Amino acid sequence: MTEQTPEHIIELVAGRHPNGDLVMEKILVTPQQEKGQFLLLKSPVFVKGIAQGDLIAQMDEPKGAFKIVQHGGNLSIRVYGKEDLSVIEQALTIELEKLGGTLDICQGNVLVYSIHVSCGFKTVEALLNQHLDNKDTLAWYYGNVYDPETGEPLNWWQAILSEN
């Protein structure tokens, strides 16, 4: 008999509303032995800098703040559309699953995928661009590749790729 890993939902800061209020997102996690640490079970829609498999620690202030303890190696890919994405989701999910990726969130006009960085940026980007060629109604972004303040690459993947 295998032991079930407990799943919990925590709220993390996703940004600030124009009125100054914090915008929170509910994230599916597994608590870890170290108090206040959680393993992300899915990549988020709006919280920047994290992906499925990352180990995070909640901070005391402000509410919902966190720091990354360890990157799990996954890229977070967010796909946004002006209309329902169900047709694109079927084709794109099949292709990303062939590379070991997973569909974490499917909500109308938003899809969120996780895929290991070892698949390669060029491979992932070529696949996304092939399936999301209508630039007027579709867009995709990495959720954890660029610094949200500066736009510079975070380069967390360098250590992971050098291990392989």
Provide the CATH number for the domain around residue 115. 3.30.70.260
Q: Over 90: is that where the pLDDT of 2 sits? A: no
| Domain hosting residue 81, numbered range | 74-142
Q: Is residue 135 part of a domain?
A: yes
Token reading at 57: 């620690």
| 32 part of a folded domain | yes
pLDDT (average), residues 15-28: 94
The confidence score (pLDDT) of residue 163 equals 79
Give the pLDDT mean for 33-55.
Answer: 97
Structure tokens at 110: 């938003």
pLDDT beyond 70 at 158: yes
Q: What is the pLDDT of residues 85-124, one digit of tens each?
A: 988 999 999 999 999 999 999 998 999 999 999 999 999 9
Whether 34 is covered by a domain: the verdict is yes
Query: Cβ neighbours of residue 93 under 8 Å, at least 6 residues apart?
Result: 103, 113
pLDDT bin (cut points 50, 70, 90) of residue 4 is low
Give yes or no for residue 42 having a pLDDT over 80. Answer: yes
From 70, 101, 121, the end of a domain falls on 70
Co-location of 111 and 85 in the same domain:
yes
User: Is 132 within a domain?
Assistant: yes
Q: Which residue has the higher pLDDT, 7 or 115?
A: 115
Q: What is the mean pLDDT of the chain?
A: 93
Let me know if residue 47 belongs to a domain: yes
- CA dist 7 and 30 (Å) reads 5
Q: Is the pLDDT of residue 61 over 70?
A: yes
Report yes or no on 1 lying in a domain.
no
Distance between CA 50 and CA 116 in Å, rounded?
13
Q: Are residues 82 and 60 in the same domain?
A: no
Report pTM: 0.92
Mean predicted confidence (pLDDT) in 18-46 = 96
15: in domain: yes
Of the candidates 29, 103, 104, which has an alpha carbon nearest to the alpha carbon of residue 66?
29
Residues 66 and 78 in one domain: no
Q: Nearest 10 degrees: CA dihedral of 14, 20, 21, 22?
A: 20
Our count of domains for the chain comes to 2
In a domain, residue 20? The reply is yes
Which H or E element spans position 15? strand 8-16
Per-residue model confidence (pLDDT) at position 164: 62
Tell which of 22, 43, 70 closes a domain: 70
Q: What contacts 70, CB < 8 A, 6 or more positions away?
A: 54, 55
